Chain A
Amino acid sequence: MIEVQSLTFRYEVSERDALRDVNLTVPDGAFLGIIGPAGAGKTTLLHCMSGIIPHAFPGDFYGAVRVGGLDTADNRLTDLSRLVGTVFQDVDSQIISSVVEDEILYGLENFGVPHEEIGDRLTAALEQVGISSLRERTIASLSGGQRQKVAIASLVALRPQILVLDEPTGELDPFSSRQIFTLLRTLNREHGMTVVVVEQKIMLLSEFADRLAVLNDGEIVKEGPVRGVLSDIPLLERIGVNCPRAALFSSLLAEKTGTEVPVCVSAEEAVEAARRVMG
């Protein structure tokens, strides 16, 4: 479980708070999506959840963040990272090794995974992310999207209780993006991993996440089940978040026909809703 209590954070070099009085609870086994316009504090919030803030970024930190019962301010980043796996937004700065296989081995070796188990975990992680064929390749020879997959695989191999990802599909094509989200859902449902994702592709996110949190200007302006959040279209439009077209469609359909239409998160659902309303 992640508990964020009255969290306010200001970077040392900044004049204004990056996060202001944020309260948020992510229960075990949840799949939370975080959305919001650029500069809303999404990455900062993720860094607070993984303990990178306050350990690696200096600044004023008020309130408390507890991850699996551990206060992030009182525990070493190394101990926190046994619980939380982090995929950074800038994949190039996350990758440490020169060869794919070594990148995935790195965390496994460091966290003391028994050596007889490492081989299987390595192969499994590569397969799950769909990059078995890249095992021997050098990082320099990979495309941005492939590197992103390597970064994700290196965390998946560690099987942390909580996985936080900052725009994990930023450089991926639609097919691979869906593949990654499907993987995240499998990890979430079948392995009970708690997943927190910051993502710009809201349509995709809405389809896979259970809950959404909307950040704007350092504050959480809405948080709840996906459909509940997406039903507040005026709010999303006001802060400049791109609302999924399926949700827009269902709200328009309700407005024009005067009937009750549930919020849709995928094209299939929208088609289904239209069929029902039109008879």
Chain B
Amino acid sequence: MTDLFQYVPGNSPLHRMNPVTKIALTLSVCVAAFLTDNLFVLLALILFDLMIGVAAGAFRKALAIFRGLFKVSLFLFVLQALFVRRGNRLLWIVTDEGLSTAAGVVLRLLAVCLPLALVLTVTRVSDIAGALVQVLHVPYAYAFTLTTAIRFIPQFMEEMSGIMEAQTARGVEFDTKNIFKKLGLILPLCVPLLISSIRRTGATATAAEVRGFNLRTRASGYKKYGFGLVDLAAVLISAALITGAALIP
């Protein structure tokens, strides 16, 4: 699970694309997914996501993300199908409109989550931050917040599994199949995790300060983020996605 958000080195066109363009492309997929109610357009968006996954050399990872979202999707689907009361009744309390709304919600979720995760697979977080500062003139402190947050995800997970292993070794039943019992065991761990994270955040702030955090300006970045043909193509695709989603009924 931890490696879902991890950068995977590579040299695909997506790797070479300007980080800002990648974010724009990601956001346009999201906008398109929310503009449309047409299930086929949503399916086409997912197909597009998968094609991006293939282009980035991360098809397997894309499938892993789908698998990860499966339970949530199922839950959402059932919930929507049971609670939407409009339309013609098909079976028990399930209506045709309920089913189509449920499918729409689930497909939208998949269409939106996939590019967000993929963007982190093909872009180093530091490049996202660097490009935001250089190209979009975002103040560095905000960009730093973003990088630190994403950098902390694997660290939290490591720490959490460390605590869980330590407790499992002393007889706590973390491997139980009962989800409520497991939740009851995990929740109390959040407090020590939170405390240790806050402490660690303080230390990281000091570490950043002693390496010149306060001196950083927009010109500091060593890497330059230019735009190329691949970026132009991505912008055109983004525009096409949004227009398509808006125009197709």
Contact = CB atoms under 8 A, between A and B. Distances in A.
A132 B110 CA distance: 39
Given A90-B203, A93-B204, A78 B214 contact: yes
A79 B207 CA distance: 14
B126 A97 contact: yes
Q: Is the interface of B mostly helix, strand, loop or mixed?
A: helix
Contact of A88 (B6, B126, B207): B207
Given A99-B126, A118-B222, A140-B2, A112 B151 contact: no
A30 B179 CA distance: 59
B9 interface: yes
Given A92-B155, A94-B203, A138-B6, A109 B216 contact: yes
Interface string A64-100: 0000000000001110011001101010111111110
A99 B124 contact: yes
Nearest to A110: B212
B215 A96 contact: no
B213 interface: yes
Contacts of B220: 109-110, 112
Contact of A102 (B3, B124, B206): B124
Nearest to B211: A107
Nearest to A86: B210
Interface string B142-175: 0000011011001100100000000000000000
B210 A81 contact: yes
Q: Is the interface of A mostly helix, strand, loop or mixed?
A: helix
Interface in A115-149: 115, 118-119, 136, 138-141
B212 A93 contact: no
Interface residues of A, number: 40
B7 A138 contact: yes
Nearest to A119: B222
A56 B209 contact: yes
Given A138-B6, A140-B6, A111 B148 contact: no
A168 to B, nearest CB: 15
A77 B125 CA distance: 27
Contacts of B9: 136
B74 interface: no
B221 interface: yes
A154 interface: yes
A105 interface: yes
Contacts of A118: 222
Interface in B107-129: 124-126
Nearest to A113: B222
A154 B209 CA distance: 14
Centre residue among A93, A112, A118, A139 by max chain B CB count within 10 A: A93
Contacts of B208: 96
Given A81-B211, A107-B211, A110-B213, A93 B126 contact: no
A205 interface: no
Interface in A131-178: 136, 138-141, 154, 158
Interface string B193-211: 0000000101111111111
Contacts of A96: 147-148, 151, 204, 207-208, 211
22 contacts: A51-B210, A52-B210, A56-B205, A56-B206, A78-B209, A78-B210, A78-B214, A88-B207, A92-B155, A93-B200, A97-B147, A98-B147, A99-B124, A107-B212, A108-B222, A110-B213, A110-B216, A111-B211, A111-B215, A118-B222, A140-B154, A140-B155
Interface of B: 2-3, 6-7, 9, 124-126, 147-148, 150-151, 154-155, 158, 200, 202-216, 220-223
Given A52-B210, A110-B216, A140-B154, 16 more contacts: A56-B202, A77-B206, A85-B210, A90-B203, A96-B147, A96-B204, A97-B125, A97-B126, A98-B125, A98-B126, A98-B150, A102-B124, A107-B212, A109-B222, A111-B212, A140-B2
The 9 A-B pairs with the shortest beta carbon distances in the complex, nearest first, are A110-B212, A93-B203, A107-B211, A140-B154, A81-B210, A102-B126, A109-B220, A56-B206, A94-B207
